[in-house]
Amino acid sequence: MKMKNKTHLILLSVLLFVSYASTALANIASGWATPAKPGGVADDVDSAFINMTNWILGFISILAVLFVIWGGVMYLTSAGDENKAESGKKTITYALLGIVIAGLAYAMIKIIVGTILI
pLDDT tens for each residue of 87-100: 999 999 999 998 89
Q: Which residue has the higher pLDDT, 58 or 4?
A: 58
Per-residue pLDDT tens over the stretch 62-81? 899 999 999 999 999 998 88
Contact 95, 68 (CB under 8 A): yes
Nearest partner of 113 among 38, 51, 43, 22, judged by Cα: 51
Contact 90, 70 (CB under 8 A): no
Domain extents for the chain? 1-29, 44-118
* 110: amino acid identity, one letter: K
If you average pLDDT over residues 39-55, what whole number do you get? Answer: 72
Angle, helices 82-112/45-76, rounded to nearest 10 degrees: 170
* 63: amino acid identity, one letter: L
